[in-house]
Amino acid sequence: MLSSIKIAHLTSAHQDGDVRIFHKECVSLAKAGYDVSMIIPNTASRVEKGVNIISFQIKKGSRMFRAIKAVNRVYKEALKLNAHVYHLHDPELLRIALKLKRKGKIVIYDAHEDLPRQVLSKSYIPKIFRSLISFFLRNMKTQEQKN
Q: What is the pLDDT of residue 115?
A: 67
Check: CB of residue 67 under 8 Å from CB of residue 133: no
* 62-88 pLDDT per residue, tens: 667 667 888 999 999 999 999 999 999
* 34-51 pLDDT per residue, tens: 999 999 999 999 999 999
Q: What is the pLDDT of residue 72?
A: 93
Q: What is the pLDDT of residue 135?
A: 85
Do 138 and 119 lie in a common domain?
Answer: yes
Number of domains comprising the chain: 2
Do 11 and 74 lie in a common domain?
Answer: yes
Do 17 and 84 lie in a common domain?
Answer: yes
Domain extent at residue 65: 2-112
* 51-68 pLDDT per residue, tens: 999 999 887 766 676 678
Please report which confidence band the pLDDT of residue 145 belongs to, taking 50, 70 and 90 as the band edges. low
Do 106 and 118 lie in a common domain?
Answer: no
Q: What is the pLDDT of residue 27?
A: 97
Q: What is the pLDDT of residue 41?
A: 92
Average pLDDT over the chain reads 86
The model carries a pTM of 0.79
Long-range contacts (CB closer than 8 Å, 24 or more residues apart) made by 55-61: 55/16
Check: CB of residue 78 under 8 Å from CB of residue 64: no
Between 105 and 126, the higher pLDDT residue: 105
Query: 7-16, 28-37, 84-93, 128-137: which has the highest mean pLDDT?
Result: 28-37
Beta strands in 19-88 (DSSP E): 35-41, 46-48, 51-56, 85-88
- What CATH number has the domain bearing residue 8? 3.40.50.2000
Do 77 and 127 lie in a common domain?
Answer: no
Do 107 and 117 lie in a common domain?
Answer: no
113 pLDDT more than 80: no
Do 28 and 70 lie in a common domain?
Answer: yes
Q: How many CB atoms lie within 10 A of CB 90?
A: 18
Q: What is the pLDDT of residue 139?
A: 77
Do 45 and 79 lie in a common domain?
Answer: yes
Between 130 and 51, the higher pLDDT residue: 51
